[in-house]
Chains A and B, each alone.
Chain A
Amino acid sequence: MSGAPNPGGGNHLARTDQGALYRELSRSNLPATRRWYTVVGLLLLVTLWGVGCFVYMMKVGMGVTGLNRPVMWGSLIASFVFWIGLSHSGTLISAILRLTNATWRAPILRGAEAMTAFALMVGGLFPLIHIGRNWRFYYMIPYPNSRQLWPNLRSPLMWDAVAINTYLLGSLTFLYFGMIPDLAIARDHATGWRKRFYTVLALGFRGTHSEWRRYHVASTIFAILIIPVAVSVHSIVGWDFAMAKVPGWHSTIFAPYFVTGAIFSGLAGVVLVMAALRKVYRLENALTTVQFENLGKLLCTMSLLWGYFYFAEFLTVWYNRNPEEWEVYRSYGGHFLPLWLSMVVCNFVVPFPLLCMRRVRRSIPALCFVSFLVLVGMYAERFLIVVTSLARRNDPFIWHNYFPSWVEFSILAGALAMFLLLYTIFAKLFPIMAVSDIQERLFQATDRVVGGTTLESVARPEASGEGGHG
């Protein structure tokens, strides 16, 4: 918004007029290049390979996986938990930052919310892939039928289905609703088919005073509603395990432990996605070290919290020495030692001390390295929870170790490629930066000439903090 620009501030965006600002922040929407098509083509190929392997598994049977008694839940369920966890920080963090009015939030909102939506879509596929006889997945849908069957709503798996669908619909709505003002901006700048596309999606939003007021109230309500839904989703994923009388699963701490882990891995995902967007679409002026440092602080807190929860869980079992549970923990020092070490080292031993250092938090490559470690550590944690408890279940005569087959690895690779593909296409078609939020922040941080003097904005300290170029 015009007004006297901040003459002394180091904030590049504050000195840019709105047209140029939009062009800078919407580089991802430029016509696709050959390089973009190549990337999309490669991702599509890997996705199709994953789909092909799934079809093969459907045709031949679950025997092509590494699953065998007693380990009937393996990498596919571990991936389900991992992806649902990854989906957490997007919408959840976005909602928390909106409610707390964190002034640095604007550039990360959209990317994080989109991450939630696509991670949920990918994560939600895993139970369907895993169930076997996949063509009967509709048995889970409650509708009157001649089989006299109805989903058993006393089962945590059905709670999961209800919660994930609620969260997916809520997250998509949250993403779309937050995007409406940006779609209106895109509509007014676009030409050709994109103009028609954005005109329909913007639903006629024009930015009247009345629209803005209601938009803000609705955004706040969405944020308030989506936070407890997000917490409930991963609590229920935790209860999928905790409700079963399986050693290593049957724990009262699982719901908060899972939520903590989900936010932890989700934050790491947000850091990686933001760093990739910054690099690919040259968004250095919007995604500055301020955002990364703050994400680093949150990551540091979550690492500490994760460590605390894990220690609390471990201590109880260690002190109790209940033989059934203790055998699960003993296997961490045997066959599953590499995984256990990966989990502890990547989630706590390395990230926590590193993230305590300001230099690391302000270095984007270092923060990306730590975030990557956290994702590895969190996957190892999911795998350990799902597999180890089954592999060392009750009767030693049936103990059996598990390793995923090439079919499972292919499906996992296909899922990752599918997530990246959806994200890449989304970034090409939709505003990946919350332009209107950034404009609003800049408007609030702009000094104004009144009469013969310049009034400094109260929001200036944060704005000038964005002046760095990472």
Chain B
Amino acid sequence: MSGMVVVGLFEGIEKAAKAGNALRALPLAEDRITTLSSVPLPDRAVTRDTRPIRFPRVTLVGWFVGALAGLALALGTYLLYPLITGGKAIISVPPTLIVTYEVAMLGALAGTVIAGFREMGLCRFRTRLIHDPRIQEGKILLCARVSGDEQAKRAMDAMKTAGGIDVRPEEGEL
């Protein structure tokens, strides 16, 4: 997603939405437009998130990996270090279920964190990312990835017409 990005600050969601429509009319593909805001904006209000959200599958995978680890821990313990107690089975099912359940939940939590962070694109400390701290004052930063000076100019015009302030081209990733 690197390359030239045109950004513009907007006071209020209405102006940003107008600019978003203008950018789409250029035409610019939906996946080339995004917003930076201090609060989550409803999907399609300004832009649409076209990428499917896949990481919940990793939560499920994490759960199963955790369950297997818990099962291995409990069963392995019984079999490798058997505690012979009169009249009782070496492999005890209810405690195995409890340990398996706890480790499975831990696996699911770990899977969510790792995959969630990855899919959100966090921890990219070495990459130059587009950002404007003024979004914390309540403004919305509308960003459009453009190809070529002509498209950049038209995108900037569209943003300015919609009421954008400090509309400018920037180098970096979205």
Q: Which residues of A contact B (CB under 8 A)?
A: 1-3, 17-19, 22, 142, 148-154, 158-159, 162-163, 165-166, 169-170, 173, 177, 180-181, 185, 188-189, 203-218, 221-222, 225-226, 228-229, 232, 236, 436, 439-440, 443, 448, 450
A189-B38 Cα distance, complex, nearest whole Å: 12
Contact of B135 among A149, A207, A216, A440 (CB under 8 A): A207
CB of B55 within 8 A of CB of A2, answer: no
CB of B131 within 8 A of CB of A18, answer: no
Give me 13 A-to-B residue pairs in the complex whose CB atoms sit less than 8 angstroms apart, sorted by A's number.
Answer: A22-B136, A142-B77, A159-B98, A159-B99, A169-B109, A177-B116, A185-B136, A203-B123, A208-B34, A209-B40, A210-B34, A214-B116, A236-B98
B146, CB-defined interface residue at 8 Å: no
Q: What band does the interface of chain B fall in when counting residues whose beta carbon is under 8 Å from A? A: 35 or more
Chain A residues, Cβ within 8 Å of B123: 203-204
Stretch at the interface among B9-17, B21-29, B151-159: B9-17
CB of B138 within 8 A of CB of A208, answer: no
Chain B residues, Cβ within 8 Å of A17: 137-138
CB of B53 within 8 A of CB of A1, answer: no
Contact of A214 among B41, B119, B131, B139 (CB under 8 A): B119
CB of B80 within 8 A of CB of A173, answer: no
A181-B163 Cα distance, complex, nearest whole Å: 27
Contact of B120 among A149, A189, A205, A236 (CB under 8 A): A205
CB of A215 within 8 A of CB of B120, answer: yes
Name which of B106, B129, B133 has the most chain A CB atoms within 10 A of its CB.
B106
A205-B119 Cα distance, complex, nearest whole Å: 12
CB of B74 within 8 A of CB of A153, answer: yes
CB of A166 within 8 A of CB of B103, answer: yes
B174, CB-defined interface residue at 8 Å: yes
A439-B47 Cα distance, complex, nearest whole Å: 20
CB of B113 within 8 A of CB of A173, answer: yes
Chain A residues, Cβ within 8 Å of B36: 206-208
What is the CB-to-nearest-CB distance from B12 to chain A, in angstroms, rounded to a whole number?
Answer: 5
A443-B135 Cα distance, complex, nearest whole Å: 14
Q: Which residues of B contact A (CB under 8 A)?
A: 11-14, 34-41, 43, 46-47, 49, 51, 53, 55-56, 59, 73-74, 77-78, 80-81, 83, 92, 95-96, 98-99, 101-103, 105-106, 108-109, 112-113, 116-117, 119-125, 129-131, 133, 135-140, 174
What is the CB-to-nearest-CB distance from B80 to chain A, in angstroms, rounded to a whole number?
Answer: 7
Chain B residues, Cβ within 8 Å of A213: 40, 43, 49, 53
A180-B116 Cα distance, complex, nearest whole Å: 12
Closest A residue by C-beta to B85 = A154
Decide yes or no: A209 and B38 within 8 Å by CB, A225-B105, A448-B14 being known contacts.
no
CB of B124 within 8 A of CB of A209, answer: no
What is the CB-to-nearest-CB distance from A209 to chain B, in angstroms, rounded to a whole number?
Answer: 5
A241-B134 Cα distance, complex, nearest whole Å: 56
Decide yes or no: A439 and B38 within 8 Å by CB, A19-B136, A150-B81, A173-B113 being known contacts.
yes
6 nearest A-B pairs in the assembled complex, by CB-CB distance: A212-B40, A188-B133, A150-B81, A218-B116, A203-B122, A18-B138
Contact of B83 among A152, A180, A207, A436 (CB under 8 A): A152
CB of B120 within 8 A of CB of A214, answer: yes
A232-B97 Cα distance, complex, nearest whole Å: 12
A166-B110 Cα distance, complex, nearest whole Å: 10
Chain B residues, Cβ within 8 Å of A19: 136-137
A221-B116 Cα distance, complex, nearest whole Å: 10
Name which of A1, A152, A443 has the most chain B CB atoms within 10 A of its CB.
A1
Closest B residue by C-beta to A213 = B49
Decide yes or no: A209 and B46 within 8 Å by CB, A1-B39, A3-B12, A232-B101 being known contacts.
yes
CB of A204 within 8 A of CB of B125, answer: yes
Chain A residues, Cβ within 8 Å of B105: 166, 170, 225, 228-229, 232
A173-B98 Cα distance, complex, nearest whole Å: 22
Chain A residues, Cβ within 8 Å of B124: 204
CB of A208 within 8 A of CB of B13, answer: no
A159-B37 Cα distance, complex, nearest whole Å: 44
Chain B residues, Cβ within 8 Å of A180: 122
What is the CB-to-nearest-CB distance from A276 to chain B, in angstroms, rounded to a whole number?
Answer: 28
Chain B residues, Cβ within 8 Å of A225: 59, 105, 108-109, 112
Closest B residue by C-beta to A151 = B77
A371-B49 Cα distance, complex, nearest whole Å: 45
Closest B residue by C-beta to A214 = B120
Chain A residues, Cβ within 8 Å of B53: 213-214, 217
Chain A residues, Cβ within 8 Å of B119: 214
Q: 19 more A-B contacts (CB under 8 A) besides A1-B13, A18-B138, A448-B14?
A: A2-B139, A18-B137, A149-B81, A154-B83, A159-B95, A163-B98, A166-B102, A166-B103, A188-B135, A188-B136, A204-B129, A209-B37, A209-B46, A214-B53, A217-B116, A221-B116, A225-B109, A229-B109, A436-B38
Chain A residues, Cβ within 8 Å of B113: 173, 177
Chain A residues, Cβ within 8 Å of B120: 205, 210-211, 214-215, 218
Decide yes or no: A221 and B102 within 8 Å by CB, A19-B136, A214-B55, A216-B40 being known contacts.
no
What is the CB-to-nearest-CB distance from B88 to chain A, in angstroms, rounded to a whole number?
Answer: 8
